[in-house]
Amino acid sequence: MNIKKTTNTETVFFSCLKMPLTSIAFICVVSLFSIASNSYASGGGGGGGGFSSPSQSAPRFDPVVKYQEGIAALQRGDNRTAEKAFRKVISVNKKHANSQYYLGLSLFGQEKFKKAKRPFEKALKYDNKLVSAHGYLGVVFQKTKKFEKADAQRQQLIELRESCGDCNNKVKIDNALLQIDGAKQQSLLPLDVSPERGDQLYVEAVSHINQGHYLAALVSLEESASVFGPHPDVLTYQGFANRKLGNKAKALEFYQAALNIDADHRGANEYLGEYYVEIGRLDLAQYQLKKLEKICSFGCEQADELRRWIAAAS
């Protein structure tokens, strides 16, 4: 075995050690910090784009960046910037319930109640369980004097409360009901939107998927989506879990949404291929495989797995 010994690494470390004590602390801490914010990755995911976790790859995707920009603007009370950002996200993925909800919030924050109505309604169309959207829509109806419609939102919240049993959404539902009654101001951002939490939810979701718990996975994925916006890794697994639950049309929609944001997404291309195998379209599955082979110039697990699917079905 050919072992060459160079001393460059040592030089770097030793020069760090040889510095006067105060500057060691400073330079070494600064360099550590800069790496923590630059190349450090939690590495968990890769269900999609490669080796990174969703938080690490997030800045590669315009809609995800815009989404985060919108959330930051909402947090500092800059509703106009938030509105612009969420409109951009929606122009790429109009079925992203959380983006519709936050667009509603940014309009609500500007007291544009009539305009806020539609995005809240759309948010609920794509995810009827978004409790806060029911609350705000109810308030919008109160403010625009559509009392019957406000009542309808109240009713839906009560139904959600009944069907959820001991679920941890109960407090949120009660708050939303109080909000419609005008008794309580709901905090603007009820969700924990830290990227660490988003990654954690994503890992939770993948772990659920690996155990075949697809409904639980969808819950974690939805929460993760509320942190990251339309992130292709998350969308891909939303598609995957829906496919496993037999919701084929929904699965296809999610895969396409992921590919719309990142056409070369390895996971989305692989799972779309598997979907084609399942519906008996081996020709389209082959097309997906060809695409993956091109994306993975040095080979990848995603292409290998799809190849096995096609071989098993042929």
Q: Which among 35-43, 105-113, 123-131, 250-258 is the span making contact with another protein, rule CB under 8 A?
A: 35-43
At its nearest, how many Å lie between another protein and the CB of residue 87?
17
Binding-residue pattern over the window 237 to 276 for another protein, x denoting contact by CB under 8 A: -----------------------------xx---------
Q: Could you say whether residue 4 binds another protein (CB under 8 A)?
A: yes
Chain-centroid distance of CA 2 in Å reads 47
Nearer to another protein, 85 or 176 (CB): 85
Q: Which residue has the tokens 């994503």?
A: 202
Site for another protein in 120-179 (CB under 8 A): none
Rounded-to-integer distance, Cα 138 and Cα 176, Å: 9
In 10 A of CB 172, how many CB atoms? Answer: 21
Nearest-CA neighbor of 111 among 83, 150, 130?
83
34 binds another protein (CB under 8 A): yes
Smallest distance, Å, CB 282 to another protein?
18
Q: Choose which of 111, 159, 192, 301 interacts with another protein (CB under 8 A).
A: 301
- For the chain, how many residues are written? 314
Q: Determine which residue in the list 22, 163, 168, 297 makes contact with another protein, applying CB under 8 A.
A: 297
**Distance in Å, CB of 43 to another protein, minimum:** 4
Burial of 186-200, coded b for 16+ CB within 10 Å and e otherwise, reads beeeeeebebebbbb
Residues numbered 48-107 forming contacts with another protein, rule: CB under 8 A: 49-53, 55-56, 58-60, 62, 65, 68-69, 72
225 close to 123: Cβ distance less than 8 angstroms = no
* Residues contacting another protein: total by CB under 8 A: 66
Nearer Cβ to another protein (211/256): 211
Q: Of the ranges 1-9, 170-178, 253-261, 273-281, which one interacts with another protein (CB under 8 A)?
A: 1-9
Q: What is the DSSP letter of 19?
A: S
7 half-sphere exposure, CB direction, 13 A CA radius:
3
- Rule CB under 8 A: is residue 42 a binding residue for another protein? yes
Residue 277 parent element (H or E)? helix 266-278
Is residue 29 at the binding interface for another protein, with CB under 8 A as the rule? no
DSSP string computed for 91-133: HH-TT-HHHHHHHHHHHHHTT-HHHHHHHHHHHHHH-TT-HHH
CB of 143: closest distance to another protein in angstroms? 32
Is 111 or 301 the residue whose CB approaches another protein more closely?
301
Q: What is the CB neighbour count within 10 angstroms for residue 260? A: 16
Helix axes 195-210, 232-244, angle to 10 degrees: 30
Q: How far apart are CA 228 and CA 156, in angstroms?
A: 27
User: Is 22 one of the binding residues for another protein (CB under 8 A)?
Assistant: no
Q: Kindly state whether residue 32 participates in binding another protein, applying the rule CB under 8 A.
A: yes
For the CB of residue 84, give the shortest distance to another protein in the complex, in Å.
13
CA distances (Å), origin 243, targets 101, 232, 252, 272, 313: 26, 16, 8, 10, 18
Nearer to another protein, 14 or 147 (CB): 14
Q: Which residues of this protein are in contact with another protein, per CB under 8 A? A: 1-6, 8-9, 11-13, 27, 30-32, 34-47, 49-53, 55-56, 58-60, 62, 65, 68-69, 72, 194-195, 199-200, 203, 206-211, 266-267, 297-302, 304-305, 308
